[in-house]
Amino acid sequence: MNYAVIGKSLPHTISPMLHNMLGNLSYGIREFEDETALANFVRSRVCKGYNVTIPYKQAVMPLLDEIDDGAKEIGAVNTVVDEGGRLKGYNTDIGGVELAFKVAGIEVKGKNALILGSGGTCKTVKFFLEKHGAKSVGVVSRSGELNYDNVYDMKDTEIVVNTTPVGTLSIDKPIELARFLKLEGVFDAIYNPLETALVREARRLGVKAANGLVMLVEQGRLAHNLYARYDDIPVWGEEKTLEIVRAIEDERRNVVLVGMAGCGKSMIGKLVADKLEKEFVDLDEEIESRTGKTIPEIFEELGEEGFRRIEREVAFDVCLKGGQVIATGGGAVLDARNVEAMKSNGVVVWLKRDAHNLARDGRPLSKDLETVRALYSKREPIYRAVADFEVENNGAIKDCADKILQII
């Protein structure tokens, strides 16, 4: 292991995968319980270079021989390179932020900006905004002068940046964007899920927005290129960052099938999952597996309200994990929180099947054709509103699966 990402606890880091994709195959993970262990590692010089993450971006600085001017000004180092026996620290996060704003088309010059959170990422974003001519930069924290109680007084806000963990693997938002009537751009440093609730709200409002994936990959590419100055590994341009971002998005994106019970979601989902080489998950089967009861038994014991509560818990667990094809229950879209979870990592496809073709066996709310038609009429506008795409399924199952694959 010549290179590594270092931090305290890194169970979800994608840095090794990222650097492998950049052509560095000797990259791994090093975790340290405290700053003493960090110092011992730095002094050992066992690695040619490493990326530094929370909580050591400041702690590593006094251990180095030299620090790049940009990293000094920001007050944090995220990349260390052994340059002929001298350890030099850099901050490539700033380049990551620059590319993220560039790709999203968010203009900074002359704009009033708010940064949510006051940690290490805040320092990098503040440096970027001020460097590119922002008119004002306010930092919002829980107990600061500018906080979440008075933040909406900043009525001239045009750019919002989230550097807090709120929204990570959830559908939570740190603030309500709709209250900023002059808003033009939103950047969320979170990259998991692919579309945070904050980014999704921005896009609904017609505001340019981006998550943290471009920043993450770009800072890695820039660090990789620093390593390449002293090692025989390839050097890459910005286009490589965008290529890797697309590859990660494709791998992590869920395909979520919605529609009436009996419309073929499970059969089609399995075919699509096989072709895309993704995991297939049937939400109803997952509910039965977790509860040890059939869907009709749950309805009989707990009623529809009790079933929907269990369905919501399972939908959150499943949909906030990426890389799957998911067949949902017919009524899963009735809960707006389920829909938010579906869209966080996924593209939602509505399978449309005529009411008389819907299977009805073992489905508590589909007792007869008249009941099915009434239910379909009620749910049709909901399916249409939540779906990114609509696909007819009144013919061969394979044909429907092929249509979905063409869309994806």
CA 129 to each of CA 151, 156, 360: distance values in angstroms, whole numbers, following the listed order:
19, 16, 58
φ, ψ for residue 368, nearest 5 deg: -150, 170
- Taking the CA of residue 34 as centre, how many other CA atoms within 13 Å lie in the half-sphere pointing to its CB? 1
Question: Distance of CA 299 to CAs 113, 245, 265, 293, 373, Å?
Answer: 50, 43, 21, 10, 21
Assess whether 57 carries a catalytic annotation. yes
Give the bridge partners for 49, in sequence order. Answer: 3, 81
DSSP secondary-structure letter at 90? E
d(CA 359, CA 65): 70
Return d(Cα 89, Cα 61) in angstroms, integer: 7
Place of tokens 């389920």: 338
Give SS3 for 29: strand
The one catalytic residue in 57, 123, 173, 343 is 57
Token output for 51: 């990326």
Read off the tokens for 72.
């000094």
Q: Which of 215, 154, 170 is nearest to 188 (CA)?
A: 215
- Say if strands 279-282 and 49-52 run parallel, antiparallel, or are unpaired: unpaired
Catalytic residues: 57
